[in-house]
Amino acid sequence: MRSRIASYLHQIRCSPDQIVVGAGTYHSLDLLFQLLKEDVKTLALEEAVNDGVKALLGQYPFSCRPLRLEEDGICLEDVAASRAQAIYLTPSHQFPYGTTVSDRKRAWLLDWAKKTGGYLIENDYDGEFRYGARPIPSLQSQDDSERVIYVGTLSRVLCPSFRLSYLLLPRSLLARFRTKRNSYDQYASPIFQHTLELFMQSGDFHRHVRNMRALYKRKHDVLLHSLEEHFPAGNIIGTGAGLHMLLQLSAERSEAEIVEQALGNGVKVYPTFAYSLVPARSWPPTILFGFGGLSEAEIQEGVRRFAQAVYG
């Protein structure tokens, strides 16, 4: 199974023995934080993160330092001032705002990790889904000092209930994991693992990924065009990758009010303030639209209803 994953991750620098299979992203991160708690007192992370990650961090004694988000990724001045021993980030497609860390910042972060001995925790949660642009190389593939820990999931290309994820551990952490492996719960289903191994071995998995990428690109384009049609003055961000995008509005209403009005009109969208680690930070109302589980017709109808809720 690990050999199949290593072959699938052809742009990643690793051998199969560096891969630890987990039962979903949060399980993999939980295992990783257990490994890191001996070395990491201060963890720096993007100022907006998935709510599950936020909840998981609350179970550990890390002192968390939010890093401001800029158009090309996290603020490097904040990193330098954080005195962190590790940085958690989603560099290829930031969640939720969809930014990508620039080449300049990637080089700086890798140099920071090499000089300080800190770790970069790279969560590539939707790396398979990039549309109409060159693939973004992972930080891990550019790391020559084994300071990047790569976290990935296979649930997004299969289905949410198929809970399989993986950690690519630097050899220093791999040795620690092997020493204490009996202390870590292993929830990754052996049946799921064997099924996926056979799926990969047959070649059907790779065909499935290509088909899903084409399907999600069509849905992505339908959502983008619908938002452009109904909100010509809105600022659409986070496009070109993943399974969601965002719409910034100039409306005076709060995100919570907009989301509630949309729900009253039969549309479920999401506020982004829920992901913020810095509630006092001022953002324009920014609404998150997911499109992975909807048909193209449902996307179009949903945006139409959302526009009705916003404009009255």
Q: What is the DSSP string of the chain?
A: -HHHHHHH-TTS---GGGEEEESSHHHHHHHHHHHHTTT-SEEEEESB--HHHHHHHTTS--EEEEE-EETTEE-HHHHHHHT-SEEEE--SS-TTT-----HHHHHHHHHHHHHH--EEEEEETTTT-B-SSPPPPPTGGG-SSS-EEEEEESTTTS-TTS--EEEE--HHHHHHHHHHGGGS---S-HHHHHHHHHHHHHTHHHHHHHHHHHHHHHHHHHHHHHHHHH-TTSEEES-SBSSEEEEE---SS-HHHHHHHHHHTT---EESGGGBS-TTS----EEEEE-TTS-HHHHHHHHHHHHHHHH-
CB-based contacts of 218, cutoff 8 Å, min separation 6: 296
Nearest CA among 94, 64, 122 for reference residue 288: 94
CB-based contact 308:301 (threshold 8 Å): no
What is the structure's pLDDT at 268? 96
CB-based contact 237:246 (threshold 8 Å): yes
Q: Per residue of the chain (312 residues), what is the pLDDT tens digit?
A: 777 777 777 667 778 888 898 888 899 999 999 999 889 999 999 999 998 999 999 999 999 999 999 999 999 999 999 999 999 999 999 999 988 999 999 999 999 999 999 999 999 887 778 887 677 788 998 899 999 999 988 877 887 777 888 899 998 898 888 887 655 556 677 888 888 888 888 989 889 989 999 999 999 999 999 999 999 999 999 999 889 999 999 877 889 999 999 999 999 999 998 899 887 565 789 999 999 999 999 999 999 999 999 987
Dihedrals phi, psi of 204, to nearest 5 degrees: -70, -30
What is the structure's pLDDT at 253? 84
The first and second tokens of residue 261, run together, are 């009005």
Nearest CA among 138, 149, 58 for reference residue 103: 138
Domains in the chain, CATH or no CATH each: 1-202 (3.40.640.10), 206-311 (3.90.1150.10)
Would you tell me the crossing angle of helices 296-311 and 204-230 to the nearest 10 degrees?
30
Nearest CA among 78, 91, 172 for reference residue 125: 91
CA distances to 249, 263, 274, 284, 287 from 252, in Å: 9, 18, 18, 9, 14
What is the structure's pLDDT at 94? 92
Write the pLDDT tens digit of every residue in 67-116: 999 999 999 999 999 999 999 999 999 999 988 999 999 999 999 999 99
